[in-house]
């Protein structure tokens, strides 16, 4: 098939590269000329395992191409995927400017049948707006050309997006015309050979499914963090509780880890957008509001433990920080717990020595002018001259460190473990004070 992908961001680029790897011809459109130039040279602008290889293969085969000309993109493919950003507006709603701009572009330039596919995460009713925008442009031109609008939300996890796309749990397609259903089935046939994964539903149902899925996962995280905060006050080990409830088949183990809250580009934005949609429809979403509020508080939890340990006297201290990205295997720092922690520490006059395997460049872009931040070349370098260590991202290389080396390098043997990576009793025996989430603190 010939596919046009409007947007070469996280979703658009991964989708385009994976479609091309299955033999489709894909033209990716982005109005950022510099980004397009880099992509044509094979430069991957995001950290995502396996994507660089797919991009190189797509470029070499000629099946994956890039342009900064929307008109060229509209002419190219029957399928017009819309995978542009929908950032949160000031009121928490999803900003649809870029989505509707693409829709108008399709209506302005199309000369034959087109199927517009909403891949971006959008509120219920967006497909109706896209349909109206395309129709309005066709009306201006005096054209009567066939088109349809389909919802096909993405369910990609940062750090495993290529794997998720190629081996999906499910493929949600919201479509009502037989023609669009036939085309979408054919498009995804190579991804469903093992067993049927494509779920057909109405367009509005598909739009809601995406928000419901992310909000459900966010709720599990906030629920576990709520349990963890209660557990700390009762002398209970939340890790034991996690295993106890996760063994129940009705609950399962996924997304049951207590920590410093969720971040990234999806959960915070989507929970907020669904709350806005609910309120706009006349319903007060009490549970969603609680999910968001628990997460907001949880991102400050590690800072409060640091302040309590040092008796509120933080000015002049130096903290070693392991992890900047909101999760492993990505450089994404959007809504990351590290940002909340660092900014709170800087307000108290604390210096931060930080390291992340992937997010150093992003940290430099965000905080390059912050005098209280020093970005280090290794986890060990972070520790030099630091009064304590805080861990906020569960990268594999942080999971089994040399604790004797850590103790030698730190001024004080104190670890603030925001991801419950370490065994409190092991650290007590090694002479550390250890603070985690939902487990009793230990003093070595």
Query: Strands (DSSP E) along 101-207, which ranges?
Result: 114-118, 147-151, 171-174, 198-201
SS3 322: strand
Q: Which helix (H) or strand (E) holds 6?
A: strand 2-6
Catalytic residue, candidates 18, 28, 266, 382: 266
Give dist(CA 364, CA 344) in Å, integer.
Answer: 18
Comparing CA positions, the residue from 158, 3, 157 lying closest to residue 82 is 3
Give dist(CA 329, CA 308) in Å, integer.
Answer: 32
Give dist(CA 5, CA 73) in Å, integer.
Answer: 8
Measured CA distances, 289 to 152, 215, 221, 278 (Å):
27, 11, 14, 11
DSSP 8-class letter at 159: T
Q: Give yes or no: 382 in active site.
A: no
SS3 151: strand
User: Which parts of 89-237 fold into alpha helices (H)?
Assistant: 97-109, 126-141, 161-166, 178-188, 203-234
| Residue 205 neighbours by CB under 8 Å, 6+ apart | 174
Q: DSSP of 408-425, one letter per residue?
A: HHSSS-EEEETT--S-HH
Q: Which helix (H) or strand (E) holds 30?
A: none
Please classify residue 316 by burial: count the beta carbons closer than 10 Å to its beta carbon, then call 0-12 exposed, 13-18 middle and 19+ buried: exposed
Question: What are phi and psi for residue 204, nearest 5 degrees?
Answer: -65, -35
Cβ count within 10 A of residue 49: 13
Q: DSSP of 268-310, one letter per residue?
A: HHHHHHHHHHHHHTT---HHHHHHHHHHHHHTTHHHHHHHHHT
Quote the tokens at residue 300.
């400050």
| CA R_g for the chain | 24
Comparing CA positions, the residue from 186, 233, 176 lying closest to residue 207 is 176
Cβ count within 10 A of residue 130: 29
Catalytically active residues are 266
């Amino acid at each position: 098939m010939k596919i046009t992908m409007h947007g070469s961001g996280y979703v658009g680029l991964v989708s385009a590269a994976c479609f091309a790897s299955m033999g489709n011809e894909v033209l990716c459109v982005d109005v950022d000329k510099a980004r397009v130039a880099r992509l044509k040279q094979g430069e991957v602008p995001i950290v995502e395992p396996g994507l660089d290889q797919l991009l190189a293969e797509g470029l070499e085969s000629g099946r994956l191409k890039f342009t900064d000309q929307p008109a060229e993109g509209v002419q190219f493919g029957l399928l017009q995927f819309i995978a542009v950003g929908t950032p949160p507006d000031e009121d928490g709603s999803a900003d649809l400017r870029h989505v509707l701009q693409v829709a108008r572009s399709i209506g302005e330039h199309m000369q034959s049948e087109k199927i517009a596919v909403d891949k971006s995460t959008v509120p219920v009713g967006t497909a109706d707006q896209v349909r109206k925008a395309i129709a309005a442009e066709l009306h201006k031109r005096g054209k009567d050309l066939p088109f349809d609008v389909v919802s096909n939300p993405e369910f990609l996890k940062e750090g495993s997006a290529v794997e998720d796309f190629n081996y999906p749990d499910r493929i949600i397609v919201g479509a009502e015309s037989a023609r669009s259903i036939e085309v979408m089935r054919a498009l995804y046939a190579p991804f469903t050979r093992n067993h049927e994964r494509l779920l057909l539903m109405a367009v509005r149902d598909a739009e809601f499914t995406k928000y419901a899925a992310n909000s459900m996962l966010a709720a599990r995280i906030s629920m576990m963090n709520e349990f963890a905060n209660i557990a700390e006050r009762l002398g209970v080990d939340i890790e034991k509780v996690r295993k106890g409830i996760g063994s129940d088949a009705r609950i399962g183990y996924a997304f049951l880890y207590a920590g410093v809250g969720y971040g990234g580009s999806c959960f915070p934005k989507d929970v907020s957008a669904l709350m806005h949609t609910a309120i706009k429809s006349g319903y007060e979403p009490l549970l969603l509001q609680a999910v968001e509020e628990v997460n907001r508080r949880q991102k400050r939890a590690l800072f409060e433990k640091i302040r309590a340990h040092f008796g509120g006297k933080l000015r002049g201290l130096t903290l070693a920080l392991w992890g900047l990205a909101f999760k492993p295997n990505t450089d994404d720092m959007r809504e990351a717990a590290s940002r909340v922690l660092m900014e709170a520490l800087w307000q108290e006059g604390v210096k931060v020595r930080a390291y992340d395997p992937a997010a150093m460049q992003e940290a430099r872009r965000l905080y390059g002018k912050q005098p209280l931040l020093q970005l280090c070349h290794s986890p060990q370098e972070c520790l030099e001259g630091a009064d304590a260590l805080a861990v906020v991202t569960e990268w594999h290389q942080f999971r089994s460190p040399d604790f004797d080396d850590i103790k030698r390098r730190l001024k004080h043997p104190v670890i603030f473990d925001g991801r419950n990576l370490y065994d409190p009793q092991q650290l007590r025996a090694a002479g550390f004070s250890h603070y985690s989430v939902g487990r009793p603190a230990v003093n070595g």
